[in-house]
A and B are shown apart, each in its own frame.
Chain A
Amino acid sequence: QQKVQQSPESLIVPEGGMASLNCTSSDRNVDYFWWYRQHSGKSPKMLMSIFSNGEKEEGRFTVHLNKASLHTSLHIRDSQPSDSALYLCADDTNAYKVIFGKGTHLHVLP
């Protein structure tokens, strides 16, 4: 079973819309979640990380964390075509061993 589960697999939103991506860990020892973004043909780059319960906002991007449910979500408001990418979630439950989910493909239509 995939330790880090992401949903949906694919998401289409109109330009200017809100995109919401989900990620759940299967390990109760999780402390950190990371969100990485990978544009087509490029390497992944970290977008945001979260440690504490609650939310963290950076510009158009907001990350929520609920440690009790081992769930994090990434929300992108005012989505732009340049936000179209593969979004990968990772957790830290294995210390040095960083495990990623399968990702969510986001398509923002102009």
Chain B
Amino acid sequence: EAAVTQSPRNKVAVTGGKVTLSCNQTNNHNNMYWYRQDTGHGLRLIHYSYGAGSTEKGDIPDGYKASRPSQENFSLILELATPSQTSVYFCASGDVTGASNERLFFGHGTKLSVL
């Protein structure tokens, strides 16, 4: 099965601090995604990427930046963390193109608490 690894698994940050969430996939998938999951909201798309060097805004990009320096790595950056960004963050990879039924593979999630 495809492997997607997130780090850290848990993170406590202070308001106004910088937070970087990392994701690594070893499946050579072109697309990578960052979602956040909150009670009552399901999975909401923050940023995604088609490949190395590309980042695209999802549905809720405000307050977040993304970086895709290589095929394998995709980071989510909170420059000035706020308590409203307390959530569980999931990274996923896949070769979804809109013309196929390729699946997404998710990491185990990062629980972020901003105090």
Q: Is the CB of B40 within 8 A of A102?
A: yes
Given the complex of chains A and B, what is the CA–CA distance between A103 and B39 in angstroms? 10
Given the complex of chains A and B, what is the CA–CA distance between A96 and B106 in angstroms? 15
Note all chain A residues with C-beta closer than 8 A to B99: 31, 95
Does B114 make an interface contact (CB < 8 A)? Answer: no
- Segment at the interface with B among A13-21, A44-52, A67-75, A76-84: A44-52
Note all chain B residues with C-beta closer than 8 A to A100: 35, 42-45
Further contacts, 7 of them, CB under 8 A, given A31-B98, A46-B103, A100-B44: A31-B99, A44-B104, A96-B56, A99-B45, A100-B35, A102-B40, A102-B41
Note all chain A residues with C-beta closer than 8 A to B35: 100
Question: Which chain A residues (55-110) contact chain B, with CB distance < 8 Å?
Answer: 88, 92-103
Chain B residues within CB distance 8 Å of chain A: 31, 33, 35, 40-45, 48, 50, 56, 58-59, 90, 92, 94, 96-101, 103-104, 106-109
**Interface bin, chain A:** 20 to 34
Q: Is the CB of A92 within 8 A of B98?
A: yes
Given the complex of chains A and B, what is the CA–CA distance between A79 and B103 in angstroms? 24
9 contacts between A and B (CB under 8 A): A31-B98, A43-B107, A44-B106, A96-B97, A97-B45, A97-B48, A98-B45, A98-B104, A100-B45
B32 vs chain A, min Cβ distance (A): 10
- Across the two chains, which residue of chain A brings its CB closest to B104? A98
Note all chain B residues with C-beta closer than 8 A to A34: 101, 103-104
Report which of A49, A96, A99 forms a contact with B103, defined as CB distance below 8 A.
Answer: A49
Note all chain A residues with C-beta closer than 8 A to B106: 43-45
Given the complex of chains A and B, what is the CA–CA distance between A32 and B101 in angstroms? 7
Note all chain B residues with C-beta closer than 8 A to A51: 101
A41 vs chain B, min Cβ distance (A): 9
